[in-house]
A and B are shown apart, each in its own frame.
Chain A
Amino acid sequence: MTTQTAHARTARQRPPRRIMDARWSVLLGIVFVWCLAPFFWLVMTSFKRGDRALNDPDLFQGPFGLDNYIAVLGQGFLLNMRNSLVVATMTTVVCTIIGALAAYAIARLPLKRRVLWLSGVLAASLFPPVSLVPPLYEVWRSIGLLNTWEGLYVSYVSFSLPLTIFILTTFFAAIPSELEEAAKIDGATPLQAFRKVILPLAGPGLFSAAIITFVTSWNEFLLASTFAPRNAEVAQTVPVAIAAFTGAVEFQRPIGTITAASVMVTIPMVILALVLQRRIVSGLTAGAVKG
């Protein structure tokens, strides 16, 4: 039945090029509005001064000024950004390295019950993070990891590992094994085959996994608010700081400061997305080798 409909559709003419282009533009327009309208709201609100402007639904209702940004910087927000950056970077580096090793072992090396290993990794990741908090808190307190970067990124690494291992396992499995075998015939050790042949080919996969890890740990709130609730000088991260914001003036609703801080955090990430999107997405080499 399905093949019949297929033939029927084949007979139909494709719409002319111009209509396709118009449809495409409309589609892109919708995508831009959906993704960017809230961001536009964020930017406009962040520049509003005083309660009257902030409580007005009209986005263009002034007065505008930098008050919210000054208030945010006065609350030590740059230190929070530093903490988030360090924690997210360390998580990404550690997680990608050890995740790549584990994924390669599961995908390629002679390992008994590889499916079981992968399922085990996945299963462990299904526990609700909320209930990891109390026991981990005790452990972290006893070994002095509370209010430290290490305390945060060690836990983030283990939360990000399952997805990283999963993405990279599928990725490594898609690289033709002939390449490794050829390397081994040329006298490469298993370690060399991994380092010189597989890793360079897995670059794009590693990159995607790394970006996902970075964003996930950059966004994390629950553990951060438990393990490093205060003190921007030490380890308090951006989401925790924002949740604790007060207004520019005491008792003012923190809508202005929250939006200003959000803009400050989002701008570097937007630049990052612009610079890296090609590398996140660009022609995954595994596919090129396969084709």
Chain B
Amino acid sequence: MPNDTSTMHGGSARRSPEANSRLRAPARWRGISETALARLFLAPSITVMVLVVVFPILYALVTSLNAYTRRQREGFAGLDNYVEVLSSGVFWQALSFTAVFTVTSVGLEFIIGLGFALIMNRALRGRGIVRATILIPWIIPTVMAGQMWAFMFNITPGSINGLLGLGDFNWLGQSGWAAGTVIIADVWKTAPFAALLLLAGLQTIPSEMYESAKVDGATSIQRFWYITLPLLRPAILVALLFRTVDALRVYDLPEVMTGGAFGTESLSMLVQQYIVETPDPGVGSALSTLTFMLVLAIGVIFVRAIGSHLVFGERSR
């Protein structure tokens, strides 16, 4: 570590001629104030997000308040579309699948991902191979992973049935089990991503803490429980936040694996169905706005739990 700081100072010393040439850059760059710089730095991100995200949100909000027949606007509908959505059985069915899917898959992904992160963080020979292996499921595109698992669970060729000696057990063709296969595929595919987010947190825990705990005679379980977990709290919450909101909007995997049959239709699939297949953009937009509000509410809970001081350190207080 002292080595790092010294190379850094060395680096800046070496760079100083270049820095001098920088000073001859246009005057407005030289004297730009920090506040102006902050606005300048935020501008590109805000612009892109307003164009691609904020505009469609407002568009959906307006659409959801209008009545449509065969894509033709019929007039203002107030909250009729919302009432229609909330009183339809399909919505509650999709909501319950989405909820079950989210809780189960995020829970499993967190546990497995934490295990992966601890393994990846450990120094040992062949670490590169281990890390790359763990990351492989994550880099396979979701559509492919979905098709792969669907083929493996399918009756023909029946690879998983063959392995488990289950004969012609129809995983994808009955309710309950179909949801289970989608969850298994998602856990396999996404646990490495949770691991990566957690690993970033593990890396920031100074190794001195473990060493002094070792000197004090703490076992590895104690070190995990009293050092790793508390210090990992921000990374855990971030990983759970991003995985939860992603899982709540799951689309690709059930679409590819079951097409939404046998109680595996997610909220996003329902939205897609209303917006693209059933020509009623009003109801579709009401559905997506409801989904958004649900995800937003859960997101807010997480952001509260994360707390600004964990992100910004002491400065923000």
A residues at B contact (CB < 8 Å) = 6, 9-10, 12, 14, 24, 27-28, 31-32, 34-36, 38-39, 41-42, 45, 54-59, 98-99, 101-102, 104-107, 109-111, 114-115, 117-119, 121-136, 139, 154-155, 157-159, 161, 163, 165-167, 169-170, 173-174, 177, 183, 188-192, 194, 196-197, 200-201, 205, 208, 212, 215, 218-219, 221-222, 238-239, 242-243, 255, 258-259, 261-262, 265-266, 269-270, 272-274, 277-278, 280-281, 283-291
Contact = CB atoms under 8 A, between A and B. Distances in A.
13 contacts: A14-B219, A31-B130, A54-B157, A127-B60, A135-B56, A191-B32, A191-B37, A197-B12, A239-B144, A274-B129, A274-B132, A286-B204, A291-B207
B162 A239 contact: no
B152 interface: yes
Contacts of B37: 105, 109, 190-191, 194
A280 B38 contact: no
Given A41-B159, A287-B203, A9 B219 contact: yes
B156 to A, nearest CB: 5
Interface of B: 1, 4-5, 8, 11-12, 15, 19, 22, 29-35, 37-42, 44-46, 48-49, 51-57, 59-60, 116, 119-121, 124, 128-145, 147-149, 151-152, 156-159, 161-162, 188, 192-193, 196, 199-200, 203-208, 217-222, 226, 234, 238, 241-242, 245, 249, 251-252, 256, 267-269, 271-272, 275-276, 281, 284-285, 287-289, 291-292, 295-296, 299-300, 303, 308, 311-313, 315-316
B42 A105 contact: yes
B151 to A, nearest CB: 5
A131 B288 contact: yes
B130 A104 contact: no
The binding surface of chain A is classed by DSSP as helix
A38 B188 contact: yes
B59 A169 contact: no
B89 to A, nearest CB: 20
A289 B4 contact: yes
B87 to A, nearest CB: 20
A130 B288 contact: yes
Nearest to B58: A135
Nearest to A183: B12
B149 to A, nearest CB: 7
A102 to B, nearest CB: 4
B311 A170 contact: yes
Nearest to B46: A102
A242 B144 contact: yes
B131 A122 contact: no
Contact of B285 (A31, A131, A173): A131
Contact of A285 (B4, B133, B219, B249): B4
Contacts of A270: 132, 136, 139
A239 B256 CA distance: 11
Contacts of A110: 34-35, 38
Contacts of A274: 128-129, 132
Contact of B119 (A27, A54, A98): A27
Contact of B48 (A134, A139, A161): A161
B141 A218 contact: yes
A238 B141 CA distance: 9
A189 B267 contact: no
Contact of A130 (B133, B271, B316): B271
3 smallest A-B Cβ distances: which pairs?
A131-B288, A57-B162, A109-B38
B41 A104 contact: yes
A139 B111 CA distance: 42
A208 B156 contact: no
Given A134-B281, A273-B136, A101 B45 contact: yes
Most B CB within 10 A of own CB, among A27, A42, A222, A281: A281
Nearest to B310: A170
B200 A167 contact: yes
Contacts of B136: 35-36, 39, 266, 269-270, 273
Nearest to A124: B53
Contacts of A243: 143, 256
Nearest to A12: B219
Contacts of B207: 291
Contacts of A284: 200, 203-204
A221 B152 contact: no
